[in-house]
Amino acid sequence: MSTPDPKPRSLRYVDALREAVAQEMRRDPEVFVFGLDVDDHRAIQGSTQGLLEEFGADRCFTTPLSEDAMTGVAIGAAMAGMRPIHVHIRMDFLMLCMNQLVNMAAKAHYMYGGSVKVPMVVRSMIGKSWGQGAQHSQGLHAMFMHVPGLKVVAPSNAYDAKGCLIAAIRDDNPVIFMEHRLLYPTEAEVPEEDFTVPFGKARQMLRGTDITIVGISNMAQECLRAASLLADLGVSVDLIDPVSLLPLDMETILASARRTRRLLVVDNAWVSAGAGGEIAAQAAEHLGGEGPLTVRRLGFAPTTCPTTPTLEAAFYPNPTSIAQAAYRMVGGDPAWTPDPAQAQLAYQQVFKGPF
């Protein structure tokens, strides 16, 4: 990671995003931000708040409901030397941009023999809670991990959110930037100065000896809560947040799994053909011949996301289901379950609604 700052302060994830964009817009006049409602008074949950007032409507502006065409605008601007940040308040809307992202943005540098750069950032928010439902809750990062030419990042804390976003803006290639909305109010120590978090380097959140757990996006935070439950049982967790999914730091994951011989991957997406499947497959390829290796994946239930709270609770992994899966992998009592009060999700205590 980048050099620690001498003046860290506590900052919310959403404020770290806003600060990163503002600093880069001050540093580089070619950076601009656009997307549906980025200049609205609600400003994408506050993540673009104040940019219109400081930088004007030429560099912070809304768009029509035309995601495919607007992505083409971003690609063209990037090819012309600008650094656009295209914001989507739901990751689900990226489905409307797939041709532009997969066939144009990701391919241009290769197809033009390296003479063309596409330095653009696509910010996309993942929804959850208060009935986000089938079309506003999807984690679609695995689709983009499949495409050479794209980079995919999913920071789980405010420090990495700021550092990754600055790195994404300065990158000469298209970057898909995933933000889980339930991370927005979470705080971490974040330097005031600009800094970058390099892609392809995982974050070691906990060091342990009994099992390796990999948590993707906000699942890294839920895994942290699960690890505290397991600690009460004497189970030591080696917890890893990949931070960037493409490129993916398998070296750190493999080093951990080689020691513990148990790997649990918890994704904020469906299990089938997902990021967890990629990590599990690489672990099996590299470590399977070295001795016994236990691998398991957790993710969304294999259905569309329900809107009712009771069904939604069964759809997502949570600290209880993560801890239970890990406990069984280390040979614990299959009937064990933690106190529900200890396993409550963070957002159930602090989240009050969308606006």
The CA distance from 185 to 158, in Å, is 9
Strand order in the sheet with 151-153: 60-61, 31-34, 83-88, 121-126, 175-180, 151-153, 244-246
DSSP readout, 281-298? HHHHHHHGGGS--EEEEE
Domain end (from 190, 213, 246): 190
Query: Per-residue pLDDT for the chain (355 aa), expressed as one digit of tens each?
Result: 555 555 678 999 999 999 999 999 999 999 999 999 999 888 888 999 999 999 999 999 999 999 999 999 999 999 999 999 999 999 999 999 999 999 999 999 999 999 999 999 999 999 887 778 888 899 999 999 999 999 999 999 999 999 999 999 999 999 999 999 999 999 999 999 999 999 999 999 999 999 999 999 999 999 999 999 999 999 999 999 999 999 999 999 999 999 999 999 999 999 999 999 999 999 999 999 999 999 999 999 999 999 998 898 899 999 999 999 999 999 999 999 988 777 666 555 554 444 4
Closest CA to 183 of 212, 206, 154, 142: 154
Residues 145 and 269 in one domain: no
Residues 111 and 164 in one domain: yes
Catalytic residue (one of 24, 67, 179, 222): 67
Closest CA to 239 of 216, 222, 223: 223
Residues 185 and 217 in one domain: no
The reply to whether 286 belongs to the active site is no
The reply to whether 30 belongs to the active site is no
Residues 136 and 60 in one domain: yes
Q: Which residues pair with 214 in a beta bridge?
A: 240, 265
pTM to 2 decimal places: 0.93
Residues 175 and 41 in one domain: yes
Residues 174 and 115 in one domain: yes
Q: Is residue 102 part of a domain?
A: yes
CATH at 286 = 3.40.50.920
Instruction: Name the residue range of residue 229's domain.
Output: 203-346
Residues 134 and 32 in one domain: yes
Catalytic residue (one of 86, 88, 109, 136): 136
Residues 112 and 208 in one domain: no
